[in-house]
Amino acid sequence: MTPTGKAPSEGAFSISSSVLPWSVTLGLVLLVLIPMGVVASAMLDPDQSIWAHLWDYVLPEVLLNTLWLALGVGLGVTLLGTGLAWLTAACEFPGRRFFTWALLLPLALPAYVTAFVWIGLLDFTGALPTWLRETWGITGIPPIRSRGGVILVMVLALYPYVYLTARSAFQGQGRRLLEAAQSLGVSRRRAFFRVALPMARPGIVAGLSLALMETLADFGTVAVFNYNTFTTAIYKAWFSMFSLPAASQLATMLVFFVLTLVLFEQFTRASHSYATPARGSGGSRRIRLSGGLAWLAWAWAALVFLLAFLVPMLQLLFWTRQVLGEDLDARYLAFASHSLLLAGLGAGLVVALALALGYAQRLRPTGPMQFASRLATLGYALPGAVLAVGFYIPVAGLDNLLIDTWREWTGEEIGQVLGGTLAVMLLAYCARFLAVGYGPVETGLARITRAMDEAAQVLGRTGLRRLAAVHLPLLRGPLLAAAALAFVDIMKELPITLMTRPFGWDTLATRVFEMTSEGEWERAALPAVAICLVGLLPVFYLIRHSDART
């Protein structure tokens, strides 16, 4: 008999023990619903003039651009990611072991960094075209600042999502099923299309939807390319037109796209979950690529690695060396310390909230609770630009209320209380990155089985003593991982930081943005390098803990 799924004895049916878990979870659900509700409420009161302006001058371009971008990036990352995953998971060619993990390294580079490096290199005044023009007289290279260019750069930055999930799907298949297909008279080549690929589809779709969410949420890359999408339109509506209602309306439309994507992903996951075959069914025996094919595979993997990681990284370091002497000053240290402080605070908050949510789930593992926690972790899908607007408006409203109330009571005028602090930023970070922290925490908590809890109890350790003797040591690793992931994500985060930071509060990321908008690539490189180097840490952690070493 398996242990029943029913709640155990610890006061299972008392109402009071449900209050804390539920209030934690519902609080976190509100963290996602409030910004969505705030931007959506702008739709209820559409100012006709704003709407007309958006409809005439903004939406046609933005809609078309966004759709092309999503289509191009989606197709590109699927082909590139799945192909590379199949090559490194099922084939054998020179350098395969190296490429298996090296192809994950681009995860450390924020897309906006890859973007400005390639623009710096390939723009009309960039090094490569200049050299081609002056030495060989070659002109007419397709311009990098184009729809094709932005799609290409984003594919290079985002393919690792598909690569990672598709690869672990291929890896988990084992060779039994392919052998079964072959024994039924299907050739190996056809078995790939009839068995391996369909079985890996849930993994591919999972990676694809992550990549598409990043695409829709992206602000930095499209801003560098001057390619107008919803996120840049929100930014302009707010900071050029000074119209929060217009920003809200654009944000609502973006949320609509994102939610469609989320629904699609959930639906695919629910209808295509295949049980993975039992462990010990043998790792897949690789297809040994022969001569020419092997070198072709090598060249392909090497090209992707070169374009997506090595060239941008080396170019960054090169530029950094040029400006190191003059730019590495007190101001730069202020950017860095702002980044560290924000990322540290944010990561701490995210981990604490993720832990609270995890324990709420563990104490009340009921259906409604699971649904609520899924809602609470939905914030990862909400673009930073949406969250920035969605939290700024209510916090500013609260501020005005405080100012008015204070004036009525005391007759004195006070300045903003919450506005101009880190409050809005931190709220938005928590909403957006809760899922990042919750993943490791959830996995970590699942490893502490109910039987372990009961074993500790029978052996005389309950309550806090059980937490200290069993839970804390087992959760240390996952908590560190959660903190590291959240830390890096916050450090490279751009739209929230840019739109809601207190005046003068520049970070490494906003400095990169500022310098790239002025086309000063060399000076953008120094803060970018710092972000990338920190970003490598969780990638190495990921490489160690994924099956990317086999």
Q: Quick check: 139 binds another protein (CB under 8 A)?
A: no
Give min distance, CB of 456 to another protein, in A: 7
From the list 36-44, 423-431, 446-454, 484-492, the region that binds another protein by CB under 8 A is 446-454
Q: How far is it, in rounded angstroms, from Cα 550 to Cα 548?
A: 6
Q: Which residues pair with 287 in a beta bridge?
A: 91
Q: How far is it, in rounded angstroms, from Cα 203 to Cα 164?
A: 9
Q: Quick check: 19 binds another protein (CB under 8 A)?
A: no
Q: How far is it, in rounded angstroms, from Cα 351 to Cα 483?
A: 6
- Tell the residue number behind the tokens 């500022």, with chain if given: 514
Give min distance, CB of 465 to another protein, in A: 8
Q: Which is nearer to another protein, 59 or 470 (CB)?
A: 470
Q: Quick check: 279 binds another protein (CB under 8 A)?
A: no
State both tokens at 229.
Answer: 């999408």
Q: Quick check: 462 binds another protein (CB under 8 A)?
A: yes
Q: Which residues pair with 91 in a beta bridge?
A: 287
Q: Quick check: 504 binds another protein (CB under 8 A)?
A: no
The answer to whether 224 and 112 have CB atoms below 8 angstroms apart is yes
Q: Quick check: 14 binds another protein (CB under 8 A)?
A: no
Binder to another protein among 296, 303, 459, 533 (CB under 8 A)?
Answer: 459
Sign of CA dihedral 464, 468, 471, 477: positive
Q: Quick check: 4 binds another protein (CB under 8 A)?
A: yes
Q: Which residues contact 360 (CB under 8 A, 6 or more apart)?
A: 20, 21, 22, 24, 25, 369, 373
From the list 175-183, 293-301, 350-358, 443-451, the region that binds another protein by CB under 8 A is 443-451
Q: Quick check: 457 binds another protein (CB under 8 A)?
A: yes
Q: What is the DSSP string of 396-463?
A: HHHHHHHHHHHHHHH------SSTTSSHHHHHHHHHHHHHHHHHHHHHHHHHS-HHHHHHHHHTT--H
Which residue type does 132 have?
L
Give min distance, CB of 550 to another protein, in A: 18
Q: Which is nearer to another protein, 24 or 369 (CB)?
A: 369
Give min distance, CB of 16 to another protein, in A: 18
Binder to another protein among 210, 223, 456, 548 (CB under 8 A)?
Answer: 456
Q: Quick check: 447 binds another protein (CB under 8 A)?
A: yes
Q: How far is it, in rounded angstroms, from Cα 92 to Cα 237?
A: 52
Q: Which residues contact 316 (CB under 8 A, 6 or more apart)?
A: 113, 117, 525, 528, 529, 532
Q: Quick check: 474 binds another protein (CB under 8 A)?
A: yes
Question: Strand pairing of 287-288 and 91-92?
Answer: parallel
Q: Quick check: 473 binds another protein (CB under 8 A)?
A: yes
Q: Quick check: 367 binds another protein (CB under 8 A)?
A: no
Q: Which residues contact 206 (CB under 8 A, 6 or more apart)?
A: 165, 265, 269
Q: Quick check: 454 binds another protein (CB under 8 A)?
A: yes
Tell me the CA end-to-end span of the chain in Å, nearest whole number: 37
Q: Which is nearer to another protein, 447 or 545 (CB)?
A: 447
Give min distance, CB of 278 to another protein, in A: 14
Binder to another protein among 314, 401, 469, 533 (CB under 8 A)?
Answer: 469
Q: Quick check: 461 binds another protein (CB under 8 A)?
A: yes
Q: Quick check: 292 binds another protein (CB under 8 A)?
A: no
Q: Which is nearer to another protein, 432 or 471 (CB)?
A: 471
Q: Quick check: 8 binds another protein (CB under 8 A)?
A: yes
Give min distance, CB of 332 to another protein, in A: 42
Nearest to 348 by CA among 490, 473, 448, 506: 490
Residues 391-420 that bind another protein (CB under 8 A): none
The residues that touch another protein, with contacts defined as CB under 8 A, are: 1-4, 6, 8-9, 447, 449, 451-452, 454-462, 469-470, 473-474
